Structure 1
Amino acid sequence: MKNDAIIECVPNFSEGQDVAKVRQIVAAMQADEVRLLDWSLDAAHNRSVVTIAGPAAAVVESAVRGAGKAAELIDLTGQSGVHPRIGAADVVPFIPVSGASLADCAVLARQAGLQIWRRFGVPVYFYGAAAARPDRVQLEDVRRGQFEGLRESVRKDSARRPDIGGPELHDTAGASAVGARSFLIAYNVHLQQPDISAARAIARDIRASNGGLHGVKAIGVLANGRAQVSMNITDFRVTPMRQVHATVSHLAQRYGVLTEDAELIGLIPQEAYEPDSEWVRQITDFDPESKVLERRLNSPIAWPNTEVAGLDSTWPPR
């Protein structure tokens, strides 16, 4: 890894309804040389996503601090939402941007996971390129059963126990899945009709595991009363966004529904951005200056100020 390498990290936290808590988590992540690129909340999914980037060691420290603050503030025993989760700091992926490889990021993930356990007592599962076992490469396999199911499984089945820490989960913060991966695009499409069956059918047909599009993971959910096809595109070079959009639209017609608007969670790389394409036009208030990673790197947003209780003057972040 080069001395001037840039690493991205996109922690997902299991809180999307309490802005004050999320602001505290994000503020705790502030570290020298780390740039805050994006943070957002989704109330229906009850989830927040933070994007940071910078030098390797600083990004690891920032992510670990965020996991610790999340463990302090989030109690999974009273938390629910439509998005699967096993921990307060549910997923902590490291992504190479420049001057680093996926293998380098796997090493960083292992370092971060060890610190999360040692400093905060939250056990860790490694996934993606950082996986310690072949059956934990896929995040969905790690999260099988979610917090409640995994909490019971680790007591009965040694094969489900964490890679670091445990063997039982943290009582309120669960466990964290820490990994390394390439760029992932989180893309949600809403249907005009509140037809959850259609959303699930579209998700089933489009996801790679069912013979759909390469590198596409998808679930159908009901979010804020709207049917949504929630997708992760893990290989946009093989399956570009325009193909994902066209396939969702085609499948929607097959199931007698229509697509409406769409949203991106977090950022996309410049290479994936297709100006004037239909999928971009469908995204509400899309601004390439704030949603394209390389552009945001040059103009990061300010870290949130939590000194004045109850104020949220910088929401949404810009």
Structure 2
Amino acid sequence: MKKVMCIPNYSEGRDLDKIDKIVECFRAKEGVKLIDYQPDKDHNRTVVELIGDPDAIIDAVVESVKVAQEVIDMTKHEGGHPRMGAVDVIPFVPVKDVTTEDCVEYANRVGKAVGELGIPVYLYEDAATTPERKNLAKVRKGQYEGFFEKIKEAEWKPDYGPQEMNAKSGVTGVSARFHLVAFNVNLNTDKVEIADAIAKKVRHVGGGLRFVKAIGLPLEERNQVQVSMNLVNFEKTAVYQALEMIKFEAQRYGVSVYGTELIGLIPLQALIDSAQYYMQIENFEYDQVLETLLIGE
């Protein structure tokens, strides 16, 4: 039975009534399993995680876009996380009996449906139609405010939808990609310039780790700052490598890691890799985890 994961991100993390209306699109739907959703007040963003039948997931996600189109007004949006639309991104990830090519097809189906709602759509990562659009950071550069002019440029004509900014809903990115690990590291300082400096050293575009994207963000409610990361291929750049590099860079500023935060799901292998590194377990194997044997029964 085919199963795909979808992780739509909505630019609302503070109004629980609005969030509930969006999430309701995924509850008690045949073929759709709502794994989790995590509103974040500082980021003003909610990440929803779904697994299920591709057709059922696609229908539910498009329904949620319609709801978000009604309840989120981007002209009034403020938050710490980069964003370009009410439904900022909709990534598809293969899980079972589904290929990356299948996920590209799903991304195009959703992109077409969202475009028909009058929302410009850009395909990125493995669904990108040009090399320039593969990197989400490049697509999202300028964010919501910058897209009013950016979208008029010939090279930034949307893949679906009108070549005109939707003031209320912004634009949406849809992708097919490898499993991404959203991993954040909190620092015991309130100086966001320190988090920014460390993020620049850690991320690939700054000369850091190859499969890491990172930004510095303030956590105003906690009076701390955060290095917020997306590890786009944990097999080639491990979670522990990113954490250790942040610890090393933080020493230069006399600060330390206060704690870490995982957003959404993480593959078991990523945790095994970290356990093997920190505990120095030799030849640690997947099937040495008791629960993996129980699942297989």
Q: Who is 2:284 aligned against?
A: none
Aligned to 2:25: 28
What's 1:139 paired with?
A: 136
Residue pair 1:29, 1:65 contacting (<8 A) in 2 also: no
Q: Deviations over 1:179-222 (max 9, x none)?
A: 11010011111111112121111100010112211210000111
1:201 match: secondary structure: helix
Structure 1 equivalent of residue 115 of structure 2: 117
| CA contact 1:190–1:260 (8 Å) conserved in 2 | yes
Cα drift, residue 98 of structure 1: 1.4
Task: Provide TM-score, normalisation by structure 2.
Answer: 0.89
Give the alignment partner of residue 215 of structure 1, picking from 186, 193, 211. Answer: 211
Aligned equivalents of 2:166, 2:48: Cα separation in 1: 22
C-alpha displacement at 1:278, in angstroms? 11
2:88 is matched with 90
CA distance in 2, matches of 1:278, 1:147: 42
Partner amino acid, structure 1, of 2:87? A
Q: Secondary structure at the match of 2:149?
A: helix
Distance change >3 Å, CA 275–CA 136, structure 1 → 2: closer
TM-score with structure 1 length normalisation? 0.83
* Among 190, 200, 203, the residue aligned to 1:204: 200
> For residues 226 and 271 of structure 2, what CA distance do their matches in structure 1 show?
22
SS of 1:274's partner is helix
Report the alpha carbon displacement of residue 93 of structure 1 after superposing the two structures with TM.
Answer: 0.3
Identity between Structure 1 and Structure 2 (%): 39
Using the alignment, how far apart are the partners of 1:215 and 1:109 within structure 2? 22
Are 2:164 and 1:168 equivalent residues in the alignment? yes
Q: Indicate conservation of the 8 Å contact 1:45/1:83, yes or no.
A: yes
For residue 241 of structure 1, what is the aligned residue in structure 2?
A: 239
Deviations 1:127-181 (A, max 9, x none): 11111111100001111111111122223x2222211111112220011101110
Tell me, yes or no, if the aligned pair for 2:3 and 2:51 is still in contact at 8 Å.
yes
The aligned amino acid for 2:75 is T
SS at match of 2:155: helix
1:148 aligned residue:
145
The code of the aligned residue for 1:201 comes to A
Contact 1:214 1:235 in 2 (8 A): no
2:119 alignment partner, SS class: coil
Gap change, CA 1:276 and 1:231, over 3 Å in 2: closer
CA distance in 1, matches of 2:248, 2:274: 20
| Runs of 5+ consecutive residues of structure 1 not aligned to the other structure | 281-293, 299-318
Looking at structure 2, the residues matched to 45 and 94 of structure 1 have their Cα atoms a distance apart, in angstroms, of: 22
Q: Match for residue 55 of structure 2?
A: 57
2: CA distance between counterparts of 1:227 and 1:177? 27
Matched letter for residue 219 of structure 1: I
Q: Determine if contact 1:245/1:279 at 8 Å carries over to the other structure.
A: no
Equivalent-residue separation in structure 1 for 2:112 and 2:79 (angstroms): 28
Task: Tell me what 2:76 maps to.
Answer: 78
> What do residues 6-51 of structure 1 show as CA deviations (whole Å, max 9, x unaligned)?
1000000000111111111010234311000010011011100000
Matched residue SS, 2:175: strand
What is the aligned partner in structure 2 of residue 129 from structure 1? 126
Supply the distance in 2 between the matched residues of 1:37 and 1:279 (Cα, whole angstroms).
29
| Structure 1 residue aligned with 2:281 | none
Distance verdict in 2 for CA 1:11–1:279, change over 3 Å: farther
**Which blocks of at least 5 consecutive residues in structure 2 are unaligned?**
279-290
Distance 1:251 1:65 in 2: 44
Q: Deviations over 1:247-297 (max 9, x none)?
A: 1111111222111011111111122123984999xxxxxxxxxxxxx99xx
**Aligned partner of 1:249: which letter?**
K
- Name the residue aligned to 1:304: none
